[in-house]
Amino acid sequence: MTLVSKAAMLAVMAMLCFATCAAQLAPPPAPEAPPANAGWTDWLGGANSPRLRARLTEPAPDQHTAELEVEVQNIFLNSPMARTNGAQQGMLRYQLDQCPPVLTVDTQLQFAGLASGTHIISVAIVGVGNGLLTPEARLQVKTP
């Protein structure tokens, strides 16, 4: 009886130890993902016309940078002078504060070396002759 009691006691201790170790090794619960539309502007443009939405991605702390991400619909991003078999085409026009605009087809753009303070970044889809095809999305960024 003494041997059975010791064996049973060792088995219980082993199970408790295993449960404690397993709990310590279990991965932490995954953080909740942000909503799919977190940080995005509303869609700008008509339902069957070129449309865009934009958001600022989170910069690293103490960085003087701003990165903008853009999604487009109902348009092919390409040089307005290129031929695309009748599909509507355009480019993105990014502008930081009152600086000259940047025309590109890139849907992600980073502005680096920003002065401390508040800045406005705008983006719109433009066509031939830089005419606006969508309203401008305007986003505000504060740098330390």
Over residues 71-83, the pLDDT tens digits come to: 999 998 987 666 6
CA angle 84, 88, 90 (to 5 degrees): 95
- What confidence tens digit (pLDDT) does each residue in 26-75 have? 455 555 555 566 789 999 999 899 999 999 987 666 788 999 999 999 99
The 3 state secondary structure assigned to the chain is CHHHHHHHHHHHHHHHHHHHHHHHHCCCCCCCCCCCCCCCCCCECCCCCCEEEEEEECCCCCCCCEEEEEEEECCEECCCCCCCCCCCEEEEEEEECCCCCEEECCCEEEECCCCCEEEEEEEEEECHHHCECCCCEEEEEEEC
CA dist., res. 26 & res. 4, Å (int): 33
Q: How far is CA 2 from the centre of its chain?
A: 66
Q: Counting Cβ atoms within 10 Å, is residue 139 exposed (0-12), middle (13-18) or buried (19+)?
A: middle
Model confidence band, residue 106 (pLDDT cutoffs 50, 70, 90): very high
Could you tell me which of 134, 121, 37 has the C-alpha nearest to residue 77? 134
Residue-level pLDDT at 95: 97
Token match 């070129």: residue?
Answer: 50
Fold classified for 51-143: Immunoglobulin-like (2.60.40)
pLDDT for 32 equals: 57
